[in-house]
């Protein structure tokens, strides 16, 4: 079985809007009330996936969720027509586009039964995300329905917050070799909530049947959370044996690095000093919320948002690193401004799964032709703009529901239409 890393990107949904629902996400708060551009946002995501294909990477997709979430509103005793504005906005959120929060993934080489395990995230900290997991679970069960190779777990009980792969890293000499899995949790974030609970991380490690000797639990620094790093992937990212992180990412940095050096053959650390890239610049630019990938050419590549290029301290540091022949050999820039304005960079938009592509439902994998078909649907059906004061207008809701159904039909995934009423 040939194991490779597959990036599953969330297609930006037709209800993409700026309601400012995410406490601790500075971009989300800053842009609350702005007019969104769902069509442009989804096409930006398609362009990013095309760029990944050009690098020779294997690319997958997840589909937008039903919006408004009428079933969730019904559980709350209301409808989209009658709900208070704040509740209606939570029901219309398109935040499932950030697939890094879909699940936590442990590939087969790390697990006792040699299956790839996925646990869907409960996302219980924020109301607008807490109702995502049923629709996410439905997609995971279809995409990874091959029981000989995958086990898909229901979410951790909501007493403990779990925000998925955005707080999980894996280091290994190669994708197909056993690795060390790092679960990053928060204890305190000052004025902002620490979203990943250590109890949830430990439960996932047990469910995934990981080797305790090769499983690490690292506390995210309170300073990072308070500065706006609501997930670990805003200040750190790993790929293969390489960890790329900000100096102030972890509460007990020295212990974590020592454990990585002990457990991971060939471990490399690329650490950005706060004196060269202040934490505020790192978070504003999302330089760590990048895709750190291994193209077929062998040149470790960092895929960063355009905002990283526009932040002098960040771009200067990257250029110095490249000139010094460091472990990161290429930097690619992508435009995902619509996602960035709501607090999600390139890494937020994708879930990494190490697996044999032949074992994945092919409807969740894309090539150029399939991306072209997605783009055609987006250009035809996605709203061009949404202002917050029109978010619950019946005509807009009809357009949003029609758009999603057209995409499901085009991708032969119509069974998802009835999963969540």
pLDDT digits (tens, 9 = 90+) for 255-283: 999 999 999 999 999 999 999 999 999 99
**Is pLDDT above 80 for 138?**
yes
Q: Lowest-confidence range among 23-32, 103-112, 169-178, 412-421?
A: 23-32
pLDDT > 90? residue 193: no
Does residue 52 surpass a pLDDT of 80?
yes
Q: At 132, which helix (H) or strand (E)?
A: none
How high is the pLDDT of residue 33? Answer: 79
- Give the residue numbers spanning the domain of 391: 4-418
Q: Hunting for tokens 């087969």 — which residue is that?
A: 108
- Name residues whose C-beta falls within 8 Å of residue 264's C-beta, 6 or more positions apart in sequence: 171, 172, 173, 179, 180, 241
Predicted local distance difference test score (pLDDT) of residue 421: 43
pLDDT at 337 exceeding the cut of 50 = yes
Asked if 152 contacts 144 with a C-beta cutoff of 8 angstroms, the reply is yes
Confidence of residue 31 (pLDDT cuts 50, 70, 90): confident
Cis-peptide, bond into residue 178, ω within 30° of zero: no
Quote the distance between the C-alpha of residue 222 and its chain's center. 21
| CATH number assigned to the domain comprising residue 305 | 3.75.10.20
Query: Is residue 26 pLDDT above 90, yes or no?
Result: no
Mean pLDDT of the chain: 95
Q: In terms of DSSP H, where are the helices of 231-367?
A: 253-263, 279-285, 306-309, 312-323, 337-340
Looking at the 3D structure of the chain, how many domains does it have? 1
Summarize pLDDT for 211-258 with one digit per residue, the tens. 999 999 999 999 999 998 889 999 999 999 999 999 999 999 999 999
Active-site residue list: 163, 231, 348
């Amino acid at each position: 079985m040939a194991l490779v890393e597959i990036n599953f990107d969330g297609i930006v949904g037709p209800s993409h809007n700026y309601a400012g629902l995410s406490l601790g996400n500075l971009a989300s708060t800053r842009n609350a009330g702005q007019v969104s551009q769902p069509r442009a946002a989804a096409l930006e995501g398609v362009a990013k996936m095309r760029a990944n294909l050009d690098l020779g990477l294997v690319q997958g997709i997840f589909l937008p969720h039903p919006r408004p979430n009428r079933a969730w509103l019904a559980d709350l005793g209301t409808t989209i027509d009658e709900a208070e504005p704040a509740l209606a906005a939570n029901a219309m959120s398109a935040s499932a586009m950030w697939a890094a929060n879909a699940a936590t993934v442990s590939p087969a080489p790390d697990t006792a039964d040699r299956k790839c395990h996925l646990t869907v995230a409960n996302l219980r900290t924020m109301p607008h995300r807490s109702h995502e997991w049923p629709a996410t679970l439905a997609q995971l069960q279809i995409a990874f329905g091959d029981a000989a190779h995958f086990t898909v777990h229901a979410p951790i009980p909501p007493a403990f917050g779990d925000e998925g792969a955005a707080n999980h890293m894996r280091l290994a000499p190669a994708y197909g070799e056993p690795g060390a899995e790092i679960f990053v949790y928060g204890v305190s974030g000052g004025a902002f909530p620490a979203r990943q609970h250590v109890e949830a991380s430990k439960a996932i490690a047990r469910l995934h049947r990981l080797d305790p000797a090769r499983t690490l639990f690292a506390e995210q620094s309170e300073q990072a959370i308070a500065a706006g790093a609501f997930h670990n992937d805003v200040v750190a990212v790993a790929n293969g044996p390489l960890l790329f992180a900000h100096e102030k990412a972890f509460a007990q940095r020295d212990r974590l690095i020592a454990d990585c050096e002990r457990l991971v053959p060939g471990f490399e650390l690329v650490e950005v000093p706060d004196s060269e890239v202040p934490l505020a610049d790192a978070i504003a630019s999302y330089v760590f919320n990048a895709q750190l990938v291994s193209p077929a050419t062998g040149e470790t590549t960092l895929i960063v948002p355009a905002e990283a290029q526009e932040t002098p301290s960040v771009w200067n540091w990257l250029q110095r690193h490249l000139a010094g022949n460091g472990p990161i050999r290429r930097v690619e820039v992508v435009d995902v401004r619509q996602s960035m304005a709501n607090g999600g960079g390139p890494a937020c938009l994708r879930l990494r799964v190490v697996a044999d592509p032949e074992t994945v439902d092919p409807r969740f994998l894309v090539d150029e032709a399939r991306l072209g078909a997605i783009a055609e649907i987006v250009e035809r059906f996605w709203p061009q703009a949404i202002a917050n004061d029109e978010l619950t207008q019946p005509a807009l809701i009809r357009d949003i529901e029609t758009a999603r159904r057209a995409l499901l039909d085009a991708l032969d995934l119509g069974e998802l239409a009835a999963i969540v009423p």
